[in-house]
Amino acid sequence: MKRLSQKNSTKEDQGPEGGGWEIVYSGFAMILLCFFIMLSSFSSIEQTKVMRFVKSFVDSVSILSGGIKLGNGNIVLPTSADIVDPDSGLAHLYQELKTLSEKRSGEHDISVAYSSEGLVMRFSDHALFDVGVADISPKAAVLLRKVGAIIADSRYEVRVEGHTDDAPIKTSRYPSNWELSTARAVNVLRYFVDTCGISSGRLSAEGFGEYHPIAPNDNAANRAQNRRVEIIFLNTGSKQPSPEAAP
């Protein structure tokens, strides 16, 4: 019995058989490999996506305003300049248009924001037109000329949209809000082509009448918001101006 116990003790002192250090080394190498793969995946995440997630979370639970407060709504994250690549062409355009809008005495007449389609510069109707007409007012000409210069220096396709409230209109010239909103959009487009020399191949115009409101048509202030013209720099791609295109 004494000899047997001594023999077993000798085997235990020798450690496990079969090269246990290779298993430990392989496991350590696999951990390092996974670690570097994770680092690589993190480095490929776009900064804007991270910022979008953080802002969406903060806005949805209001953690910075003193408590958890969930709310209803289709839009959790408001569109703004800090959710796009700061080095992108749209970000530079945003700064130019924002600076231009802030120089206006009536800041509430003009706003600049991002949408799913691109960059939107929004004008209230009285910033560009007199009541019930589609002719560009003299006071709007200087502003549109500056916007046209920015469009000319960019390479984005631009869509001009006309919108109204739901108050019916029926005149010999504009039988409905569709005609009025379309005429306003076309006149702005025509101004860019004729006065600013922008290729018509980069521009388009649409009239939506009262059918795309941004506020309920239940009071005067909301109706004023819906009467607007929007100039949209489309993020579907840029287009080189074509001097051969006819207006």
**DSSP-assigned letters across all residues of 79-130:** --GGGS-TTSHHHHHHHHHHHHHHTSS-GGGEEEEE-SSEEEEEEEHHHHB-
How much is the pLDDT for 51? 56
| Residue 132 φ/ψ, nearest 5 degrees | 75, 10
- More confident of the two residues 220 and 4: 220
Q: Range with the lowest mean pLDDT among 44-58, 101-115, 218-232?
A: 44-58
Q: Report how far apart the first and last C-alpha atoms of the chain are (Å, whole number).
A: 109
Would you call 62 helix, strand, or coil by DSSP?
A: coil
Q: Where are the domains of the chain?
A: 2-44, 79-238
pTM above 0.75, yes or no: no
How much is the pLDDT for 54? 54
How much is the pLDDT for 222? 95
| pLDDT band, very low/low/confident/very high, at 49 (cuts 50, 70, 90) | low
| pLDDT band, very low/low/confident/very high, at 18 (cuts 50, 70, 90) | low
How much is the pLDDT for 76? 36
The domain defined by 79-238 folds into: 60s Ribosomal Protein L30; Chain: A; (3.30.1330)
Q: What share of the chain is helix, strand, coil (3-state, %, to 5)?
A: 50, 15, 35
CA 12 to chain centre: 69
Give the tens place of pLDDT for each residue, 99-149. Answer: 988 887 565 589 999 998 999 999 999 999 998 899 999 989 999 999 999
How much is the pLDDT for 17? 56
| pLDDT band, very low/low/confident/very high, at 170 (cuts 50, 70, 90) | confident
With a cut of 90, say whether residue 181 has pLDDT above it: yes
